[in-house]
Structure 1
Amino acid sequence: MLVQISHFVQKLYDMVSTKGTLFNGPHVRLPLNGIYFFFEKGQKIMINGKEYNRIVRVGINEKQGNFRKRIRGHYKGNIEGSVFRENIGWALLERDGMKPREIYKTKRRYKQANSGGPLEEEISKYFSETLTFKAFAINHEKLAIYEEVLIGALSIYYQYKIRRKELNLDNWLGLHSYSRKDKIKRSGLWNSNHVVLVKCFTPLLFETKVNLSNFSTGFLNKVFTDLDQNIISAP
């Protein structure tokens, strides 16, 4: 299974690095329904001797026709409406020595205290200066399973690279994050849902539930082909 996932991720990076437009905010050419891959300034990954900008978050629009609003919510919204913004904001506070866990105790209190406040400006600035993305127009009924597969595959692959000391996250803001089972820190992704935590690679054992059929060669090829044919390019 690890071989199939590694091959899939390598193909994915080759495709994403050469195709599609890199966006840095809302855009009229974005699809109504789709998948996004976010990249973060300074985050790189080496695969087969080639350096790529590292995918740091995968996401979709859960509500039909809501993709553009979803992107706008990340860049210009608030922490109540965007889990991505919520996690970035918490990590910024932790990085700057503000100790949000001691102050707020829970994510709920953190959001109540900071929604619409000065922290929102810092988050928006971080997005505009640091985060870019590529988008794929995918039918809405496919989005949930594709998101699950992509986050699962990338999280497994990144943990493998980290264990082999081939991926260094020391300068990544996500190391200051707070998530259940430290999924963000351990996976190298600004995702928690669908992250697959690996207990051991030899043999391959998981801490979290995983649907093995998601990572069959046939299904991974199907996901890749759909993404490859539907990446968004703006003139």
Structure 2
Amino acid sequence: MIRVLAVDDQQLVRMGLRMLFEQAPGIELAGEAADGAEAVRLAARLAPDVVLMDLRMPGTDGITATRRILADRPAVRVVALTTFDDDEHLYPALAAGACGFLVKDTPPGEILDAVRRAAHGEAPFSRDALARLVDRAVTAPAPSGPSAPPELPAVTPREREVLGLIGAGLTNKEISDRLHMGVTTVKTHVASLMAKTGRDNRIRLAVLAVLCGIVPD
């Protein structure tokens, strides 16, 4: 059972998350916090697996709360869930230790998928946030100057398709729909790609796809 702490100063948002998790198998809402200070206290007491963290809140904000929670419990997975999908919120959240970044209009099914992925060590990001991270990683100059594109290791044609769609920012569900295969099969391909390429998260796979020029138009 994945234990989640939902942090948001808006009661309506917390209520929506509560209703979502009540119907989700394998996920339990361990607690709710209306501000960052309460989130820090509850994280220490409830030991959640995943924290869904709003960033702009009165008093202690989500960035500060994330930093304090992870200083005390580094194994907790914090996913930012915010209205503001911009770099002014994305990079401070990542610097504080958040493992993912979602916007509040993310479909309910994708929020559940993000919680499960975060709990299993993955890094869930909204498509726009992932695209900005990949773009920054690809365009950043290497310390030793320009280098040749990386060589793609031996992957199957289907894995190559999946990798290209990861580079385009698609979620597992969107890849499943595009390639007409089950989500579980997509996850198997993603795990295989991580093992074959040595890239241990989705962002690094996406960067590899872009550098290898296999992202579809």
The TM tier, using the shorter chain, reads: under 0.3
Output the TM-score relative to the length of structure 1: 0.23
Output the TM-score relative to the length of structure 2: 0.24
